[in-house]
Amino acid sequence: MLDPLLAITIGIDPEALALGPISVRWYGVMYVVGIAVGIMVVQRVAPRLGASVDALWDLFPMAFVAGLLGGRLYYVVQNDPASYLREPARILAFWQGGMAFFGAIIGVTIAIVAFAAVRRLEVWPLLDAVALFAAVGQPFGRIGNIINGDVIGYETSLPWGTIYEHARAFAPELGVAYHPAAAYSILANLVLLAVLSWVIRARVRSGVVFAAYLVGYSVTQFVVFFWRANTITLFGLKQAQLTAIVTGILGALVLVYLLRMRRTSPARADE
């Protein structure tokens, strides 16, 4: 066990309140905050992206459910799925924490494509708007992870290592300093959000914001997972890093396709 000279101690109870048998964690509360802030930002920027605010409101319930299911199921697959199969009720226990955002990306993307096909809408502006929504909301969810102690790295003696003291924290061991992987993700998300803001101001063609998000998020997660404690699976990499490589390549291919299209994209409307 490493002995840090300095460390950040977190003694917050991850459980914000209890409603009978259901406990509401700060993780869930911060997700709600992230969703609210994301909605406010996207409503303001949607016209510039060429997306209808009314269409986005109609899309939201479907995308929300798809994101929850995709994120939770992918998390279950990554984290001892046999234990969840022994207790199936835990699979959909979102309030206990545990989401894999790559799974949410897959679920939401499928929902958007299906929605656009049924409504006969152009899919790219919708994908751009939802990518911005994700980039805005993700840092808030990571704050919930920090309180929960469920997105941490390896043990460390660095002064910004985090030590968990509350018995309900998800940290493997109390009193031990770990790399704050969730905090690293917040910093990476903020950089990505700055890049996307620049892309939006550059008034690029529809779909580029979405593709840039896929590439940027994949790069940030590939890097962060070198410090995040997860099982190494193949080629010395972790499952999330392998997923990041695949997702990043797909995003790059979409980006190249969009930038090489001869047909002009729909004009971005001024706010």
Determine the pLDDT at residue 270. Answer: 45
pLDDT at 269 over 70: no
Q: Find where tokens 């193949």 sit.
A: 234
Residue 80 region by backbone torsions, left for phi larger than 0, else alpha for psi between -120 and 50, else beta: left
Two tokens at 142?
A: 């990571």
Q: Find where tokens 């729909």 sit.
A: 266
Determine the pLDDT at residue 5. Answer: 64
Residue 166 lies in a domain: yes
Torsion of CA 149, 153, 157, 159, to 10 degrees: -60
**Neighbour count for residue 197 (Cβ, 10 Å):** 15
User: In this structure, are strands 162-164 and 22-25 parallel, antiparallel, or unpaired?
Assistant: unpaired
pLDDT at 212 over 70: yes
User: What mean pLDDT, rounded, does the chain reach?
Assistant: 86
pLDDT digits 0-9 by tens, 182-202: 999 999 999 999 999 999 988
pLDDT at 151 over 90: no
Residue 270 lies in a domain: no
Determine the pLDDT at residue 229. Answer: 78
Provide the domain count of the chain: 1
On whether the CB atoms of residues 73 and 106 are closer than 8 A, the answer is no
Q: Which domain holds residue 52?
A: 8-147+156-260
Residue 269 lies in a domain: no
Residue 66 lies in a domain: yes
